[in-house]
Amino acid sequence: MPGRPRAALAMWLDSAEAVFDPDTLAALGEVADLEPRVLTDFTTDHARAVLADVEVLVTGWGCPELTAAVLADAPRLRAVVHTGGSVRGHVTPACWDRGVEVSSAAAANALPVAEYTVAMILLTGKRVLERSREHRVTRREDDWLHTSKTIGNFGRTIGLLSASTIGRRVVDLLRPFDLHVLLHDPYVTSEEAEALGVELVDLPALFARSDLVSVHTPLLPETRGLVSRELIDAMPPDAVLLNTARGAVVDQAALTDALLENRIRAVLDVTDPEVLPPDHPLWDNDNVLISPHVAGSQGNEWRRLARAAVAEVERWAAGEGFAHPVRRELFGQLA
């Protein structure tokens, strides 16, 4: 559809202000006829007036659900361009029923998560956080010639749970390092695994053989509690569980027991619940690093998401189609 389509932002006001700085907002205005007010509620008279004419919705965190009733108020809507990763919170099957094309910035958002993952893989291999904490206490020179042979990243085995967009980006970023990468993903064939340069294994082997397991599977009904007590108990002594996906993929009670018993270590950017209760024992446990869901895009990284959205609107307006479409047939596998 050539020309400048009529477009509107649909998200929380805070989301719009965080993701779109003046430059990227101006860039979006160059490729689309942009409604100046952000839509935060599709039921107002103003929103209905905008929806009646809008062709593209640029969505973000807090976008209301695009139900069949909302779509009925938007007869000209043909595309949804999401500035975040998952579209599950607002895109419904009714969108595809209506022939609305959907795009996501999941690929752009995958990079900072993958960067966080790789950083933590390397830091845990050298036990940097624990040794730094000890160094602060002892304030003595490290006896580096007698470092344990368990410390370091040479030849370390890294297990990835799911070849998601993030999981695949992690594989790419790990290539320069002397690591052996295992992968479990029921949707990946042996030929695909060979092309990725990873060893495809079953789920028990992933946990039994890996020095670190990094969780990248989406939270779906079938993946809730997937990282079970049995799998956690099978991890080698001092292995690391790294979770940047969703806390509920992991059996939180089983993980807590393993950490309190000093059997394994963990890096948790997500937990179940998302913020653990103030009196939870993991807050004071030295075997775990808990970060406040910081792996995804934040701060200046939001500009990458906004620029990705502008590029998608420009491609769509030129009739070239989306570079990062969300396909209906894959919707059930997405985060």
CA–CA gap between residue 78 and residue 256 (Å, rounded): 47
Please name the residues in contact with 74: beta carbons below 8 A apart, sequence gap of 6 or more: 51, 52, 54, 57
Number of other residues whose CB lies within 10 A of the CB of residue 317 = 19
What is the chain's Cα-based Rg? 22
Q: Which residue has the tokens 């998601």?
A: 164
203 Cβ contact list (under 8 Å, min separation 6): 161, 184, 226, 231
Whether residue 11 contacts residue 60, with contact meaning beta carbons closer than 8 Å, is answered with: yes
CB-based burial of residue 59 (10 Å sphere; 0-12 exposed, 13-18 middle, 19+ buried)? buried
Active site residue 246: yes
Other Cβ atoms less than 10 A from the Cβ of 116: the count is 20
What percent of the residues of the chain are helix, what percent strand, and what percent coil, each to the nearest 5? 40, 15, 45
Which residue is catalytic, options 246, 304, 307, 324?
246
- Of 194, 222, 274, 320, which is the active-site residue? 274
Q: Which helix (H) or strand (E) covers residue 308, if one does? A: helix 302-317
Instruction: Answer yes or no: 141 catalytic.
Output: no
274 in active site: yes
Q: How far apart are CA 52 and CA 124, in angstroms?
A: 53
Which is the catalytic residue, given 4, 78, 229, 293?
293
Cβ burial of 24 (10 Å; 0-12, 13-18, 19+) is buried
CA distances in angstroms from 89 to 59, 93, 109, 154, 335, listed in the order given:
11, 12, 16, 41, 10
The pair of structure tokens assigned to 232 is: 């956690």
The catalytic residues are 246, 274, 293
